[in-house]
Every structure is written in structure tokens, then in C-alpha cells.
């Protein structure tokens, strides 16, 4: 009975011997091949004049040593098991340089000779039939360039490598789609009903693609949280539309609410849908797309971003809000019942893989806040995450609270509508940067021209705004040199109807680069261009008027504008916080590659990455071994903790630890503790990492306390909000900026000029990334000389100096010509108003009256683009002639620009006391006297009367009556006008009371009465001042002195002023004998 077992045992032993022998030979051959391929092998010596120096020589040497080590291990194991004959040992020993085979020197010499003879004779003659068969099965087809490192790297079969002059190229073929493995398509008429409201939202779509069909059940018939990971172009927008229509149906806005499988009542679900897009450009595209599809159902879609401000009524009326992560973070910070955030019932987050980006911390904050809100309020809010393919999608699903069995969907590259061929080119030539750049331009031209010859359009992605124009010029110069500019790029204008159609519009553009590149059949696209120019460029490329588009990565994340061929030229991206170039992230590479191939026209797409040789190896490695996306939350933990403290959701360290547990940071910290400063010993003793979370919370709390943003008690762990923290949270100001403001304001506490305060604002961390470029300095100096009324206190070579000059140029409406300066000016203008408002509120709440007034003036000037020492009638620039402003400003009684008391408001109001003819004569507009007076009456003026009553020796009661005294115009004043009112002491330069007063159109011109209690100090000052300043109209402000001459407070402190208090026994209420 034991014979078969013994036989099988002997067979297994024999197999093991054969396997060990084969492994020893394979390992030795691989080691020999790597040595032959190594830097010292002289492999490229025979390539004539074009010798290629590999940038990865050291890496190759390391690989060779590792392979030799593995081969030696395999050799010793095989010899120990008796798997090698003497001839085998001799041959392998010679290959590996082994000289310890034992025996005498004569025996070793004999073995060496035998090994040499064996090596010479070993070939097809020396092989048995099994070895020959094995060799033939491993041979690739004749003429192949298949990448021999394919198996060790894990790259797909069919990957080819080619070494050319000055660069190496690796081509990864497009995957073959096996349609039989894909989900069958769902017919929408059958699934939704041909006449249903839900079906109307998908007009023009007959059926869902395989990816959308797989998700349909979970997206449309349940309220499960979803995470859908799919390649770019797979159709994730339609998945979002499925969840949108399902939500609208569930809350009763469309169709019949018959799918409510969870039995959720209407009240438990918020009505509003919020779609978070990563960029403003993408938000605009989503609004257009959703509006066109849902218009027939009466659904209102609105954009809520930095570019598009909505009134509260408009935001509440919208059914769908499309916003950016930062904007929604600000909205939800000001939470509470009835707030916009509390009305959300469906939150869709597009491009969730941005968690790995700097801005990922904002998404973490928003989602963590939502999870806590859902738990505390017991409301049902659905979260839908849409993402590119992620290596650690399960971690993201856990963070979003997605049920892995019901709501997690991952789709591979086979779901791309157009198969993608990827090419990686590593430039090896040249020791200096200039030579490398030149080679990259040459290689880029080869790829682009090859695509154009086949009749395809091409997009070239670079990593700086300036680089777009430089690359387009380099391509045009090379094409002209090769004599191919007309044939490939511009073509015959008469034949190209689209080119003829756009010729006039392109030539009329103010953008010099747009005109220049259009003539060469190319375009540039980046965030620094004006929105109209960007839109025109997109339309021209879409219609085929231009064949090459040089752009920045903004286009890959933002607009859906595909091309057959996509090229990434260079992978060095400057990171200001590190002060150096870093590799373009693999997520960005995949996002850009996703733009290759147009589903409606192409059967395949081509994507090429051109980089340095050593970077190419890193990208190939990342492509195979996808690195999990990590959290960036720790860097911004202090700012987000401050926001929670201000909102009242975190009041101590224990609650802060709980809050951190809702973030993606906590998910990844548990999975990859070493990356977040947690040792393996710490992780073993504290698996939930509560201790590490507590350390992070305490660290952030101490930082905030140091910067006066919260009050932290280390003993009790309690956290209390401060005015500084509240303002920073509401205006989205970073804690680094607050630290800068605290320090600089303290230095200027006694007295600060307008120039001082402008300089403080320009030192904000928000402007730190402004790079000063040498080629801009001449123009910046010219602007400083001609358009800056305030002194610039920092050199223009520093970011704060440049910021000050460009901001003053923006307010003065100076003409800026440089492309990069226009872009920087737009960035400064979009942030400066917010920073100035924050500084105003910080100064006002800190009691610094002069600084508060100057910051408010600056904020209004930024919003309206004219100075507070100019006439307030400039608000009507489109209605009144320029002569009016010049005349009034010539007669202003200010002591000088940027200093002294400004009386421009009183000067404008004095025109009301003149006849129209006198006004016309004064303003050099003889026929416009009536028109000028009419517009002066629109300026918001408030008449103030005050009565003072002493309460005690150290407190006074002010009764303030406010009378609005202007003509209300809905065009200029809207529905309400706001004013800031504060009581200040001119001697101590402090505010003792401040409040915001709102006058509404409905109640105009009703008076308002305020009662204010203010402190009084010994010795009693002669007077206080009440200042009332318009919140939005530049220059509209009044100062009212309140005299204390007739206020008697001396008797208030005497004992006879108050009646004596008798010590009586209290009586019960019944003693009153009153039935009430």
C-alpha cells in the first residue's frame, strides 16, 4: 500500500532537483546579462558618433549586484541538494566567479578548463530536446523590440523598448478589450420608463455603457453612499446624473417617489444637491451640462464659486449648487440649523483622488464635518465620490463611509471608451539643462509632427504658463526649419473652413500670443489668460481651426477637451513650499493621459511622456506599483481645527481627537503609520492611534493659542474661540498669515500710515507663492513709478513688494502688458479684498480704530477699483463724464495722497447746495448739472443725532438716531445697504463699541434707533466720536463728535446719590393679595 506514496515522493524529489537546477541557470544567465548590460560593459562603444550615456548607471550596477547575489544563493542551494553535475558546477562557477568548489589547485584548474570548454561547446548541439523546446517558447518574434525587463517590472506583455540617439523609448501597447467580459448595456427606456421625468434627464442617450450599467442599481434605486473609480472618459458624469435624478425623485421634485426602499421620509432628507468640482473651470462646465439636461424638469442649477457670488435667496432657490471644495468649506463653517450646509441631502465629490493633493485637506475637512453633522442631527445625507483609478480605493471608501459590498465600484483600463497606447521617453543626452531642453523640444516635435501627418490633433502639456508660449514657438521654429509649417500646421486656409471662420476673431484679440500662435496653426491655454481668450482657444481647437494646443495641467483637470495625441513635455514642477522642482505626480500624468483619444472619432489614443532618463524609470515603476494616495491633512490641521472650534463642534482635546478619527488622515495613519511619524512599537501598543491623534491635536492647539486664534488650557484640555480665530475662519485666512499680522500690527500699534497697512496686507501667506521673474522687473518698476499713489515699503524683488505694486495698479486701473503680470494681478485681486476685510475685522474687534478705518477703505477700493481719496462719484463712471471727476478731485481739500483727512464725500454733497448751472460750470459739463446732482443724491448718507446719559461714574448711555438721507435706486443699492458704526476715542485711538447696521429698501427711509453703553475713564475726555462708514461705497463716511461738556458725572460717585438699602425680610407673593 506504501508503493505509490514512495513513488510519488521520489517523483516530487526529482521535480525539486530539476527545478533547482533550472533556477540556478536562469539566475546565472540573468546576472550575466545585467553585467553585460551594465555601465562598464562598453555596450554602446560601437554606436559610432552617437554614444549614449545612461543616467541610471548606478541603478544598473545595483541591479547587477542584486542579481549576482540571487544567482549565488540559487547556485549553492542547487549544489547542496545534489542537483548539479560537475560540469554544471564548473560552468556556473565560472559564470559567477565562484572559486571555492574545494579540492586541490590542480583540480580547480581542471574544472576551470572544463568549464571553458563546456561554455564554448554549449549551444544547440549541447541541448536535449526539452531544453531546445524551452528555449524556443521563450523566443520573441523576429525583429521584436519587446522590453526584456517586462517580467521584473510587471509591465504588460507586448511592451517594447528602443534605444535611440540621445533617448530611450518604452512603448506600452493599448490593452485589447474583451467585450465579452464587460457588463451588458442597460436600456434606459426599459429601466426608467420611456415617459418618466428621470428618463427626460438622459435625452439623447439610449443606453448606459458597461461601467454605468454596473453602477445603475446602486446609484438609481438605493441611497447607498457610492465610490466609483474609473478611468478618465469612462462616463462618470452620467453616474452623477443617475444619483441626481434619484435624489430629486426621492424628495418629490420630479417623478414618482416609488423607489424609497429604505423607508426614508421626506423630512429626513435634505432637499439640496451639492456638486463639488475641483476647479472653477470644471464647475462652469458642470453647470452648463446639468442645466441643459435638467431645464426641461424645472430644476435650477447655480454656480457658487469665487467667480460667482450668490445672494442668500438665490442660493436657497437653487436645487443644485456646483461649487469648489474651498467655497463649500467656508459655507459649512458657518453652520447651524437653517444654514445652506444643513439643507444638503446629496453631496457629489468629483475627482476624490485630489485627496493626495495639497487641496485634499479641504475635502477631508468637508467630509468629516458632514459625517459628524449626520450623526448628531440623525439626517440622511448621501455621499457620492467619483475618482480616477486608485490603488487604495478601499481606504477612500472607508473614509467616505461606503459599504464595500453595495457601494464600492472599481473599473480598470478596459472601461476606457478609447484604448490608450502609452509611450515613455527618457532623454539621456547632454550634461546641462539647456541641452536636455533642446533634446526634449526635438523629441516633442517628432511626436507632434508624426501625429499631424496622420491627420490627428495634438495637445502638448507643460508646467508653467510661460512654457506654453515657449513650446509653441519652438515647434513653429522647428517646423519652419524643416519646411513643414504650411503642410502640417497651417494648411491651406481656403480648404480649412474652421480656420477661415475664426481668423477675424483671433486677429481682433488683445492677447498678442493668441494672435501670434494662431498664424502658426497653434494655440496656448492656461489659467492666466482671460476667460474669453481661453474659451475662444477651446472653440478653435474643438472645431479644428488650430491643430496643436500647448497648455498647462489646468486643462486636464478642468475642461473636457480631448485630442487623439497627448504629449507631456517635461515632468519638473516647481513647488514653492519646498523651494525646488519635484516630479509631476503620477495622478496628474494619468489625468493628462486620460485626455488622449476622442470617443466619437477615434478607435485609439496616443499619450507620450517626455522626461529625463532617471525620471522615466521612476514613472514606469509607479505605473506598475501604484503608490497609495496619502493624506495631506497634518500640514493644515491647525487651520481646520480652528474652524471646528469656531463652529462650536470641538470644545476640547477629547472632541478634537474624535474629529480627527473621521478624516482620511486617520484611515491612512492606521494603514501606514510610519509615514505619519508613528513607530511600529507605538502602533502595536495603540492600534487605534488615539495617542498619536491626541499629540497632533495638542500640537495644533498650542500653535493656535500662540497665535491668539484659540485659548487652550493644557490642564483641562479645553479650547475656547477668540475674535482673531473667528475672523480667520470666516475669511479663510491661514494661521501663518495671522502670526505675521499679529507681529507687524504690534510694531505699528501707535501709528500706522496707509502705506504701512498696505504692506502688512501684502505680507500675507496667501501671496507668498508670487514668484518674481527677472524679465518682469522693468515693467514692475514702470508701474510703481506711474500708478502707485502709496509708497511701496518692500523691494519689488520680494513677493510683498511685487504684490503692493500690482494691487495699486489694479485699483488705479493701470494697463499691465506682460502675460505673467496680468495673471498675477488677477490672482492678487481675487484674494486681496478678502484679506483686507479680515484685517479690518481683526482691527475693529481688537479696538484699533485708525487701522480698522484704513483697512475698510482699502477693501472697498479693491472691490470698486478707485481710491478713497478720489471722489465717490466715480462709482457712476459709466454715467458721468470724466471731467466731473477731474474737477472735483482738483478741488479736494486732502492734505496729500495717502495721508491726512479726506473730505471728498463732503465735497460731493456740497454740490446739492448749488444750482444745476453752477454745478455744470464747476464740473466743466455745462449741460449735465441736473444729472450730476441726481447722482450725488444716490450717494448713501446717514444723518446722525446723539443724546448722552450718564449711568454711573464710569459708564455712559448713548442714544443714537440714524436717518438714511439718500435717494434709493434698486440699480445701485439693491435690496439693502450696510454701514459700520463704531464709537472711538481720538486720544487713545481705541473703539469702545462697534456694530453693523443694515438699511433695507422695504423700510426706506425709516429711521433706526440704537442704544449703546460705553465706558468712561478718569480724567473724563472732552469728547468721543461716532464714525459711520458705508460697507460698500468708497468714500461715503461721516465722523460725528459727541461732546461731554454738559454731562455731569461728579455727583454719581457720592454716597448721597443712592438711597440706603434696608435689611428687610422678603415677603411671599401672596402678600400682595393679587389674583394675577
pLDDT digits (tens, 9 = 90+) for 942-953: 999 999 988 888
Q: What CA–CA distances, in Å, run from 409 to 211, 229, 441?
A: 9, 6, 41
Taking the C-alpha atoms of residue 875 and residue 664, their distance in angstroms, rounded to an integer, is: 48
Rg for the chain (alpha carbons), in Å? 37
Q: Which of 178-182, 414-418, 835-839, 923-927 shows the lowest mean pLDDT across its residues?
A: 178-182
Q: What is the mean pLDDT of residues 513-520?
A: 88
Taking the CA atoms of residue 104, residue 110, residue 114 and residue 120 in that order, the dihedral angle to the nearest 10 degrees is: 120
pLDDT higher than threshold 90 for residue 645:
yes
Choose between 139 and 80: higher pLDDT. Answer: 80
pLDDT of residue 896: 39
Q: Between β-strands 320-323 and 272-276, what pairing exists: parallel, antiparallel or unpaired?
A: parallel
pLDDT of residue 417: 80
Q: What is the mean pLDDT of residues 959-966?
A: 94
Q: Which DSSP string do the residues of 771-822 spell out, in sequence order?
A: ---GGGHHHHHHHHHHH--S---S-TTSHHHHHHHHHHHHHTT-----HHHH
The band of 258, judged by pLDDT with boundaries at 50, 70 and 90, is very low
Taking the C-alpha atoms of residue 589 and residue 950, their distance in angstroms, rounded to an integer, is: 72
Q: What is the mean pLDDT of residues 438-463?
A: 91
The winner for highest mean pLDDT among 28-42, 111-125, 473-487 is 473-487
Around Cβ 890, how many Cβ atoms within 10 Å?
7
DSSP E strand boundaries for 934-1036: 942-952, 955-964, 976-985, 990-1000, 1008-1015, 1023-1030
Taking the CA atoms of residue 929, residue 931, residue 932 and residue 936 in that order, the dihedral angle to the nearest 10 degrees is: 130
Q: Which DSSP string do the residues of 91-115 spell out, in sequence order?
A: HHHHHHT-----S-HHHHHHHHHHH
Contact 276, 324 (CB under 8 A): yes
pLDDT digits (tens, 9 = 90+) for 544-581: 889 999 988 777 666 677 889 999 999 888 665 455 67
Taking the C-alpha atoms of residue 115 and residue 99, their distance in angstroms, rounded to an integer, is: 12
Q: How far is CA 576 from the centre of its chain?
A: 15
Q: Which of 29-43, 227-241, 456-470 shows the lowest mean pLDDT across its residues?
A: 29-43
User: In the structure grid, which three cell numbers stand for residue 802, read together?
Assistant: 511685487
Q: What CA–CA distances, in Å, run from 843 to 560, 722, 734, 828, 990?
A: 45, 13, 17, 22, 10
Taking the C-alpha atoms of residue 873 and residue 888, their distance in angstroms, rounded to an integer, is: 9
User: In the structure grid, which three cell numbers stand for residue 34, read together?
Assistant: 545585467
Say which residue the cell 481668423 belongs to.
503
pLDDT higher than threshold 60 for residue 119:
no
Could you tell me where the DSSP H helices lie in 552-600?
554-557, 586-593
Could you tell me where the DSSP H helices lie in 662-776?
664-671, 680-685, 690-706, 723-730, 735-747, 754-762
Taking the C-alpha atoms of residue 380 and residue 549, their distance in angstroms, rounded to an integer, is: 45
pLDDT of residue 38: 55
Q: Which DSSP string do the residues of 119-158 spell out, in sequence order?
A: HHH-SSTT--HHHHHHHHHHPPPTT--B-TTHHHHTPPTT
Percent share of the chain, pLDDT over 70: 84
Burial degree of 271 (CB within 10 A; 0-12, 13-18, 19+)? middle
Around Cβ 289, how many Cβ atoms within 10 Å?
16
Q: At what angle do helices 465-482 and 433-453 cross, to 10 degrees?
A: 70
pLDDT digits (tens, 9 = 90+) for 592-612: 888 888 777 777 889 999 999
pLDDT digits (tens, 9 = 90+) for 615-628: 888 888 877 777 78
pLDDT of residue 610: 94
Percent share of the chain, pLDDT over 90: 39
User: In the structure grid, which three cell numbers stand for residue 713, read together?
Assistant: 488650557
Contact 460, 569 (CB under 8 A): yes
pLDDT of residue 322: 94
The band of 837, judged by pLDDT with boundaries at 50, 70 and 90, is very high
pLDDT of residue 1052: 57
Taking the C-alpha atoms of residue 1039 and residue 981, their distance in angstroms, rounded to an integer, is: 10
pLDDT higher than threshold 70 for residue 134:
no
pLDDT of residue 782: 92
Could you tell me where the DSSP H helices lie in 406-543?
433-453, 465-482, 497-508, 512-519, 531-543
pLDDT digits (tens, 9 = 90+) for 1025-1060: 999 999 999 999 999 999 887 777 665 555 555 566
> What SS3 state is found at 961?
strand
pLDDT of residue 2: 45
The winner for highest mean pLDDT among 377-381, 394-398, 490-494 is 394-398
Choose between 220 and 312: higher pLDDT. Answer: 220
The band of 132, judged by pLDDT with boundaries at 50, 70 and 90, is low
Taking the CA atoms of residue 39, residue 45, residue 51 and residue 54 in that order, the dihedral angle to the nearest 10 degrees is: -10
pLDDT of residue 994: 93
pLDDT of residue 907: 87
Nearest to 1040 by CA among 963, 973, 977: 963
Say which residue the cell 477731474 belongs to.
886
Amino acid at each position: 500500500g506504501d508503493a505509490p506514496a514512495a513513488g510519488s515522493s521520489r517523483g516530487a524529489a526529482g521535480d525539486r532537483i530539476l527545478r533547482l537546477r533550472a533556477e540556478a541557470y536562469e539566475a546565472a544567465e540573468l546576472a550575466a546579462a545585467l553585467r553585460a548590460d551594465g555601465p562598464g560593459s562598453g555596450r554602446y562603444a560601437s554606436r559610432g558618433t552617437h554614444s549614449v550615456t545612461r543616467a541610471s548607471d548606478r541603478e544598473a550596477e545595483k541591479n547587477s549586484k542584486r542579481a549576482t547575489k540571487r544567482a549565488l544563493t540559487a547556485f549553492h542551494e542547487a549544489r547542496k541538494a545534489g542537483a548539479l553535475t560537475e560540469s554544471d558546477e564548473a560552468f556556473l562557477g565560472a559564470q559567477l566567479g565562484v572559486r571555492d568548489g574545494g579540492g586541490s589547485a590542480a583540480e580547480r584548474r581542471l574544472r576551470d578548463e572544463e568549464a571553458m570548454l563546456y561554455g564554448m561547446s554549449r549551444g544547440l548541439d549541447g541541448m536535449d530536446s526539452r531544453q531546445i523546446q524551452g528555449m524556443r517558447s521563450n523566443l520573441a518574434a523576429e525583429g521584436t523590440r519587446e522590453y526584456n525587463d517586462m517580467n521584473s517590472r510587471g509591465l504588460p506583455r507586448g511592451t517594447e523598448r528602443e534605444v535611440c540617439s540621445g533617448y530611450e523609448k518604452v512603448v506600452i501597447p493599448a490593452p485589447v478589450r474583451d467585450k465579452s467580459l464587460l457588463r451588458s448595456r442597460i436600456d434606459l427606456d426599459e429601466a426608467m420608463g420611456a415617459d418618466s421625468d428621470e428618463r427626460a434627464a438622459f435625452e439623447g442617450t439610449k443606453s448606459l455603457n458597461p461601467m454605468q450599467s454596473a453602477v445603475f442599481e446602486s446609484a438609481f434605486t438605493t441611497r447607498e453612499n457610492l465610490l466609483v473609480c474609473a478611468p478618465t472618459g469612462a462616463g462618470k458624469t452620467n453616474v452623477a446624473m443617475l444619483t441626481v435624478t434619484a435624489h430629486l425623485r426621492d424628495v418629490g421634485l420630479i417623478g414618482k417617489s416609488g423607489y424609497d426602499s429604505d423607508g426614508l421620509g421626506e423630512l429626513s432628507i435634505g432637499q439640496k444637491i451639492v456638486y463639488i468640482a475641483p476647479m472653477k473651470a470644471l464647475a462652469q462646465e458642470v453647470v452648463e451640462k446639468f442645466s441643459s439636461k435638467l431645464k426641461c424638469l424645472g430644476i435650477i442649477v447655480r454656480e457658487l464659486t469665487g467667480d460667482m457670488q450668490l445672494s442668500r435667496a438665490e442660493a436657497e432657490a437653487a436645487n443644485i449648487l456646483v461649487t469648489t471644495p474651498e467655497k463649500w468649506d467656508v459655507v459649512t463653517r458657518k453652520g447651524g440649523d437653517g444654514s445652506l450646509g444643513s439643507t444638503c441631502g446629496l453631496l457629489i465629490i468629483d475627482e476624490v483622488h485630489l485627496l493626495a493633493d495639497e487641496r485634499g485637506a479641504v475635502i477631508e475637512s468637508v467630509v468629516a464635518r458632514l459625517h459628524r453633522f449626520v450623526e448628531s442631527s440623525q439626517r440622511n445625507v448621501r455621499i457620492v465620490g467619483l475618482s480616477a483609478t486608485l490603488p487604495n480605493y478601499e481606504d477612500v471608501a472607508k473614509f467616505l463611509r461606503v459599504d464595500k459590498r453595495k457601494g464600492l465600484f472599481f473599473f480598470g483600463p478596459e472601461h476606457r471608451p478609447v484604448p490608450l497606447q502609452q509611450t515613455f521617453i527618457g532623454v539621456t543626452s547632454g550634461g546641462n539643462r539647456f541641452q536636455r531642453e533642446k533634446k526634449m523640444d526635438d523629441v516633442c516635435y517628432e511626436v507632434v509632427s508624426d501625429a499631424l501627418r496622420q491627420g490627428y490633433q495634438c495637445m502638448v502639456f507643460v508646467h508653467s504658463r510661460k512654457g506654453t508660449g515657449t513650446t509653441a514657438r519652438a515647434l513653429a521654429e522647428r517646423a519652419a526649419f524643416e519646411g513643414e509649417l504650411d503642410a502640417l500646421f497651417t494648411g491651406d486656409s481656403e480648404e480649412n473652413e474652421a480656420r477661415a471662420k475664426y481668423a477675424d476673431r483671433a486677429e481682433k484679440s488683445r492677447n498678442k500670443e493668441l494672435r501670434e500662435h494662431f498664424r502658426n496653426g497653434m494655440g496656448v491655454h492656461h489659467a492666466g489668460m482671460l476667460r474669453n481668450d481661453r474659451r475662444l482657444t477651446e472653440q478653435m481647437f474643438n472645431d479644428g481651426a488650430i491643430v496643436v494646443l500647448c497648455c498647462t495641467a489646468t486643462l486636464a483637470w478642468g475642461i473636457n477637451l480631448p485630442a487623439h495625441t497627448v504629449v507631456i513635455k517635461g515632468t519638473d514642477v516647481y513647488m514653492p513650499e519646498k523651494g525646488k522642482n519635484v516630479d509631476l505626480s503620477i495622478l496628474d500624468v494619468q489625468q493628462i493621459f486620460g485626455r488622449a483619444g476622442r470617443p466619437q472619432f477615434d478607435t485609439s489614443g496616443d499619450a507620450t511622456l517626455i522626461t529625463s532618463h532617471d525620471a522615466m524609470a521612476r514613472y514606469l515603476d509607479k505605473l506598475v506599483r501604484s503608490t497609495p494616495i496619502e493624506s495631506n491633512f497634518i500640514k493644515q490641521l491647525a487651520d481646520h481645527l480652528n474652524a471646528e472650534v469656531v463652529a462650536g463642534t470641538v470644545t476640547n482635546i477629547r472632541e478634537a481627537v474624535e474629529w480627527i478619527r473621521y478624516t482620511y488622515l486617520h484611515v491612512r495613519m492606521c494603514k501606514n503609520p510610519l509615514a505619519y511619524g508613528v513607530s511600529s512599537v507605538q502602533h502595536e501598543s495603540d492600534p487605534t492611534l488615539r495617542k498619536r491623534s491626541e499629540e497632533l491635536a495638542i500640537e495644533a492647539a498650542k500653535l493656535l493659542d500662540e497665535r491668539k486664534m484659540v485659548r487652550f488650557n493644557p490642564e483641562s484640555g479645553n479650547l475656547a474661540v477668540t475674535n482673531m480665530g473667528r475672523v480667520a475662519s470666516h475669511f479663510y485666512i491661514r494661521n501663518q498669515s495671522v502670526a505675521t499680522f499679529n507681529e507687524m500690527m504690534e510694531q505699528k500699534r501707535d501709528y500706522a500710515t496707509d502705506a504701512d497697512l498696505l504692506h502688512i496686507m501684502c505680507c500675507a501667506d496667501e501671496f507668498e507663492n508670487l514668484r518674481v521673474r527677472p524679465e518682469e522687473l522693468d515693467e514692475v518698476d514702470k508701474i510703481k513709478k506711474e500708478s502707485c499713489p502709496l509708497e511701496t515699503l518692500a523691494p519689488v524683488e520680494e513677493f510683498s513688494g511685487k504684490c503692493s505694486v500690482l494691487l495699486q495698479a489694479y485699483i488705479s486701473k493701470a494697463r499691465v502688458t506682460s502675460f505673467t503680470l496680468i495673471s498675477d494681478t488677477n490672482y492678487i485681486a481675487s484674494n486681496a479684498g478678502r484679506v483686507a476685510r479680515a484685517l479690518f475685522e481683526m482691527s475693529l474687534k481688537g479696538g484699533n480704530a485708525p487701522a480698522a478705518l484704513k483697512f475698510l477703505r482699502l477693501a472697498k477700493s479693491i472691490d470698486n477699483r478707485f481710491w478713497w481719496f478720489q471722489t465717490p462719484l466715480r462709482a457712476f463712471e459709466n454715467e458721468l463724464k470724466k471731467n466731473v471727476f477731474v474737477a472735483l478731485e482738483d478741488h479736494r481739500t486732502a492734505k496729500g495722497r495717502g495721508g491726512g483727512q479726506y473730505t471728498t464725500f463732503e465735497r460731493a454733497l456740497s454740490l446739492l447746495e448749488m444750482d444745476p448751472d453752477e454745478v455744470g460750470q464747476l464740473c466743466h459739463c455745462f449741460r449735465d448739472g441736473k444729472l450730476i446732482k441726481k447722482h450725488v443724491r444716490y450717494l448713501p448718507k446717514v444723518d446722525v443725532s446723539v443724546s448722552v446719559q450718564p449711568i454711573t461714574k464710569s459708564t455712559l448711555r448713548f442714544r443714537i438716531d440714524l436717518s438714511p438721507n439718500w435717494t434709493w435706486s434698486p440699480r445701485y443699492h439693491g435690496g439693502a445697504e450696510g454701514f459700520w458704526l463704531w464709537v472711538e476715542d481720538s486720544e487713545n485711538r481705541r473703539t469702545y463699541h462697534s456694530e453693523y447696521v443694515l438699511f433695507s429698501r422695504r423700510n426706506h427711509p425709516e429711521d433706526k434707533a440704537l442704544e449703546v453703553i460705553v465706558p468712561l475713564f478718569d480724567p473724563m475726555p472732552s469728547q468721543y466720536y461716532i464714525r459711520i462708514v458705508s460697507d460698500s461705497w468708497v468714500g461715503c463716511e461721516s465722523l460725528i463728535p459727541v461732546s461731554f461738556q454738559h454731562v455731569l458725572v461728579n455727583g454719581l460717585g457720592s454716597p448721597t446719590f443712592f438711597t440706603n438699602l434696608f435689611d428687610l425680610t422678603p415677603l411671599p407673593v401672596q402678600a400682595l393679595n393679587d389674583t394675577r
